[in-house]
Chains A and B, each alone.
Chain A
Amino acid sequence: MSIPTAPTGTQPTDPSTGEVLHEVRLHVNDVVHEVRLPARRLLSDALRHDVGLTGTHVGCEHGVCGACTVLLDGDPVRACLVFAVSVAGQELTTVEGLARPDGTLSPVQRAFKECHGLQCGFCTPGFLTTITAGLRDNPEPTEDEAREMIGGNLCRCTGYQNIVASVCRAAEIGRLEREAGA
């Protein structure tokens, strides 16, 4: 068989497949998950099936659609193009980690709800994470910059009209919050 099995028995193996397992500490949404994973397990699969956070969706498995986008040390990455074992110890943020600690929706999430920025919701987690990082880097985007911000994510339902509106609205909510806090 083509997949690596343990030659010496020094490393743990999966009892049902014989695959060598690696002990990995995944830091997801400020919680540490100790998991044992084969080296080839994609981050998207590890988050969904090993950690149990199914909010990250897999739309193409070749890094084009952006549905699986998560934040890795704050930066958007395609979880379907990352091996889970390679991000041990780094900070991961998934869609489940976007709401405030008290459970209220983040400005980006609120904006999507207000602007009808989602329909089936499958691509939405990738947009939310991407925009969260985008607005952190550029809190007051122009409409062109808002479009650019989401230019790498596919949505088949919305025609993007209300997603662009959501980016602009999220920026506005952020501005109002900053002003209220200042």
Chain B
Amino acid sequence: MTTKMVGQAVQRVEDERLLRGHGQYVDDLVPGALHCALVRSPHAHARIRDIDVDGVLDVEGVVAVYTHDDLTGAMAEPLPLLIPHPALTHGRTQYALAKGEVNYVGEAVAMVVAVDRYVAEDAVDRIRVDYEVLPPVVGIENARDGDRLVHDDVPGNVAAHLEQSRGDAEAAIVAAPHTLSLDLEVERSACMPMEGRGTVARWDTDSHRLQVWTSTQTSTGVRAAVAAKLGLDLGQVDVITPDVGGGFGVKIVHPWPEELLVPMAARALGRPVKFIEDRREHFISSAHERGQVQHVDVGFDDDGRLLGLSVRFWHDNGAYTPYGLIVPIITSTQLLGPYKPDNYKVVFDSLYTNTVIVTPYRGAGRPQGVYAMERTMDAIAAYLGKDRAEVRATNFIQPDEFPYDHGLTFQDGRPLIYDSGDYPASLEKLKALVGWDDFERVRDEARAEGRTVGIGMACYVEGTGVGPYEGGHVHVETSGKVKVSTGLTSQGQGHQTAFAQIVADELGVPFEDVEVVTGDTRRSPYSVGTFASRAAVMSGSAIALAARKTREKALRIAADALETTPEDLEIVDGVVQVKGAPASRIALGTIAVLSNPLRYAFDEASKSATQFVVGDPTKPPVAEGEEPGLEGKDFYSPPRSTFASGMHAVVVETDPETAEITILRYAVVHDCGNLINPLIVEGQIHGGVAQGVGGALYERMAYDDAGQLQNASFMDFLMPYVSEVPRTIEIDHLETPSPLNPLGLKGAGEAGVIPSAAVFASAIEDAEGFPITSMPISPSELHHLRLQHASAAQARPTPTKGPTP
């Protein structure tokens, strides 16, 4: 009997090539291509008076130079606004090359194409741009003041204003026995994949076709954009996503200027052209995320039950809004987490600043929302002198309340309805895992040693697997090998392994015989992309459905050949056999031969499928309603998102003198429905937690008042090394299957990073005894908070009630 593969910790099939150095990332492809380098704005806000490219073409090795003046047709128009929304009344996007104005340091102004990157950079240095420097808008407060404008025609720098509500939050707060207000801040960070952006394109002058390889999270999206911008038919453009060195959200944005400029130049020059982003470019010309200022008003009863919750926040969207309002909409809706305030109102402004654009980074607005909600839960617990876990439990949606309708609209335009979950069970697991109820003893023991420790917790719910759809294609070759394709892309999630596990089970074939291709428009022209923890849910489901169709077809053909009915057949290890009589059998590869009636034989196997050998001469060789070939194709399009959930706890120690924050324990309870591959899911959690540690304790985008990013290198932007992450991440799984898809899956990709800012703020507050309202927090900032609270305590000697766990 075939071993069931789904649910097994199968080793990844990707690893063999990656470990040998045989991966194929975009810069490994098309050797000999010309290379691009970009002139980028050195100013956060300026008018371009003149660009002098004279003499650049005289540099030996330079092939071409482009400014906006050289762009024609749709290329000369602004880049697409990918996700329009009625509330985005003042959406703005940049040009592929700046036209008259620049709005952030790093914005593309001109492009040089040369024989190699060295020469291209030499030439970039010789381009003279005459700027009239304008006053920049940096930071949410300056943007909100509206004294200076990023875009002259956007009053108050407000790109969008959106309100959603359920019930009457303001009235409920006024009527509540207790009320609190919180002012909170979260700073910027960024995805920062180890491989930056990169694109290489080749125009085939013989067939008039364009091939583009790009490090993207959506090959079909790039294909559509390139075709539209270059005035090509979709059928003339292939976009192939090779191995991608991490994405985390930044590569879902498309088309990046270079994703258009490179194909444009390749076509114009008739030679392959490549752009490989360097690290400084990634800091100043790719996307950031997270920056928000939040104000929370909450009314609650004696048990800490939320009666009314009103949230007002201001979201820094950077200089342009190509990705619409996805991030703040997610903040505003996913803020609710596992809780059910009857009365909720949220209002946000999405604001322009003269900084790099803000688009989804793993978690995509959820970390900020969870931070607002969980800071509020902790504040309520502190105010009432209650256990923080108990206050949370009081507010949980209960297992028998699913599906739970929040009465709001989610990021996909669909109602925010949670499909399934068991939050009380998660909390019990977390408390047991981290020793929540025993922590006072731990605290006392530490205190006796002169050490200060604190514990925090944070809960989240994550809408995963948003539509509109993904597809799967399963093809059994006459060798019995199974070739699978899905259109969304991979950037380290092990899709080739996980999807092969699904096909092995659904079709009944050996795992080793299944080969999966992702992100290739030649194989899968209809697809959306990899984001929002959607790959397993969307493509996993589509591939399962396609495999089932393939199986049905195989059984139909086999039933004919074995003179039985499909119901009496099973597929085991790639062989169709009669149940209970396995000697009566036929290999899937042979069925593939039979499925394709041939006129011409080209090998031994195909001889057996020629017209003089097979088929009833009185019937058409291909039966009515059938197609030749043993393959199946299907799409999965869910009615709405599925909602994964989880809870994290962290124990920290804060140094009494240096204010250094050390992680003593980190515990995760995670519910992503049924697991396909626990090894991969745990890897996703590990990586998310590490990024969360970075975002909570180390990473920030240090813009100065002039809009210069002061820490645009790995020397200065403090990404965690091994020395900064927890030694162990304790994980417990809960599997609450989703009723919305055939495998009961929920997404797992982003979960690890979502509650990080909240859980660290909770633990540091618990250790220090004063509120933590701004994240990330450095030792220096913690030190200054201590000084502030010490002097405030001296001035007002009555001690306030500290938070209790």
Contacts and interface: CB of A to CB of B under 8 A. Distances in A.
Contact of B27 (A48, A109, A112, A153): A48
Contacts of B195: 57, 59, 120, 122
Interface stretch (A83-91, A144-152, A172-180): A144-152
Interface in B161-198: 191-195
Nearest to B125: A2
Contact of B20 (A14, A109, A158): A109
A61 B723 contact: no
A123 B720 CA distance: 14
A119 B27 contact: no
A24 interface: no
Interface in A23-52: 38, 40-41, 48-49, 52
A119 B490 CA distance: 10
Given A56-B21, A113-B12, A116-B679, A156 B193 contact: yes
Contact of A160 (B18, B27, B680, B725): B725
B216 interface: no
A120 B194 contact: yes
> For the side of the interface on A, what is the size category?
35 or more
Interface string A110-121: 001110101111
A154 B719 CA distance: 8
B53 to A, nearest CB: 15
A60 B494 CA distance: 24
Interface string B378-421: 00000000000000000000000000000000000000000000
Nearest to B21: A55
B608 to A, nearest CB: 36
Contacts of A16: 60-61, 115
A14 B61 CA distance: 9
Given A119-B687, A161-B729, A59 B194 contact: yes
B687 A147 contact: no
B581 interface: no
A81 interface: no
Contacts of A99: 20
A95 B21 CA distance: 6
Interface residues of B, number: 64
B671 to A, nearest CB: 20
Interface stretch (B241-249, B450-458, B645-653, B789-797): B241-249
Contacts of B491: 120
Contacts of B125: 2
Contacts of B752: 159
A112 to B, nearest CB: 6
SS class, residues of chain A in contact with chain B: loop
Interface in A102-146: 105, 109, 112-114, 116, 118-125, 128
A112 B20 CA distance: 11
Contact of B28 (A54, A61, A161): A54
Interface in B355-385: none
Contacts of B729: 159, 161
B719 A156 contact: yes
B469 interface: no
Contact of A156 (B31, B122, B691): B691
Contacts of A61: 278-279
Nearest to A109: B19
B602 interface: no
A30 B728 CA distance: 39
B686 A121 contact: no
Contacts of A82: none
Nearest to B17: A121
A159 B663 CA distance: 14
A41 to B, nearest CB: 8
Given A61-B279, A116-B12, A163-B722, A121 B31 contact: no
Interface in B671-716: 679-680, 682-683, 686-691, 713-715
B439 interface: no
Contact of A154 (B22, B23, B194): B194
Nearest to A94: B21
Residue from B115, B118, B194 whose CB has the most chain A CB atoms within 10 Å: B194
A156 B279 contact: no
Nearest to A129: B21
Contacts of B690: 156, 158-160
B493 interface: yes
A155 interface: yes
Given A59-B195, A59-B279, A116-B12, A95 B20 contact: yes
B724 to A, nearest CB: 9
Residue from A48, A109, A151 whose CB has the most chain B CB atoms within 10 Å: A109
A21 interface: no
Contacts of B21: 53-56, 94-96, 98, 125
Contacts of B659: none
B785 interface: no
Nearest to B58: A1
B19 A118 contact: yes
Given A55-B22, A62-B714, A1 B122 contact: yes
Contacts of B720: 160
Nearest to A56: B21
A112 B19 CA distance: 8
10 contacts: A1-B60, A17-B60, A17-B119, A54-B21, A65-B714, A96-B20, A119-B246, A122-B193, A157-B492, A157-B683
CB-based closest 9 A-B pairs: A55-B21, A122-B245, A120-B492, A121-B18, A159-B690, A159-B686, A119-B492, A17-B61, A95-B21
Interface of B: 11-12, 14-16, 18-25, 27-28, 31, 59-61, 115-116, 118-119, 122, 125, 191-195, 243-246, 248, 278-279, 491-494, 679-680, 682-683, 686-691, 713-715, 719-723, 725, 727-729, 752
Interface of A: 1-3, 5, 14, 16-18, 38, 40-41, 48-49, 52-62, 64-65, 67, 94-96, 98-99, 105, 109, 112-114, 116, 118-125, 128, 147, 150-164
Given A57-B194, A120-B194, A156-B191, 7 more contacts: A3-B118, A16-B60, A62-B279, A98-B20, A116-B679, A116-B680, A158-B686
